[in-house]
Amino acid sequence: MNVKSVQSVSDYFQAMQQYKDARETKDQSRLTAIRNVLMLGKKLRSDEMHYLQRHDPNMHAQAMSLSLERQAYEDALQHSRSKADANYYNTFKLMQIAGQLKHGGSEEQLMRTNAIQESHREFMRSSKYASLK
């Protein structure tokens, strides 16, 4: 048995393990960054959604749910007849989310709340909101 070749194989496996560990750390940091974007109520880019689809299907489903809820909320805001209507709908939506807090999932509820608030802030900066009475 050649000791030199055994050492090379050992070095190879050690290098592969280090590569695997570095890859897992990179994946975890990317998932954490994406989770932080969701926690801030921001929209995910398409590459972030694809990444979630491949690496964390549960978070991808959660992000899709948030995206659909946000889109429905934005559509409702676009059909507001007055600033009071838009503000009422915002209050109604936030109260609806608050009512669901007792069922658990506070992190998801926080993501939902921040997404709704971010959408409302964007709407308030729009020309559509400015044209409302």
Express as a percent the part of the chain with pLDDT over 70. 90
Express as a percent the part of the chain with pLDDT over 90. 54
For residue 20, pLDDT beyond 80: no
Fill in the amino acid letter for 112.
R
pLDDT higher for 7 or 100?
A: 100
Contact between residue 114 and residue 66 where contact means Cβ atoms under 8 Å apart: no
Question: Which runs of consecutive H residues, i.e. helices, occur in 56-82?
Answer: 57-78
**Strands annotated E in the chain:** none
Q: Measuring CA to CA, which residue among 124, 125, 128, 101 is closest to residue 112?
A: 101
What integer pLDDT is reported at residue 29 of this predicted model?
84
Alpha-carbon distance of 34 to 55, in angstroms, equals 12
Confidence of residue 4 (pLDDT cuts 50, 70, 90): low
DSSP assignment letter at 126 = S
Query: Average pLDDT in the 102-113 region?
Result: 82
Kindly report which listed range (12-16, 41-45, 82-86) carries the lowest average pLDDT score. 12-16
Token pair, residue 99, equals 């009512």
Token pair, residue 81, equals 């007849």
User: pTM of this prediction?
Assistant: 0.74
For residue 74, pLDDT beyond 70: yes
Identify the three-state secondary structure at position 104.
coil
* Residue 59 neighbours by CB distance under 10 Å: 16
| Domain layout of the chain by residue ranges | 3-131
Kindly report which listed range (8-17, 39-48, 67-76, 102-111) carries the lowest average pLDDT score. 8-17
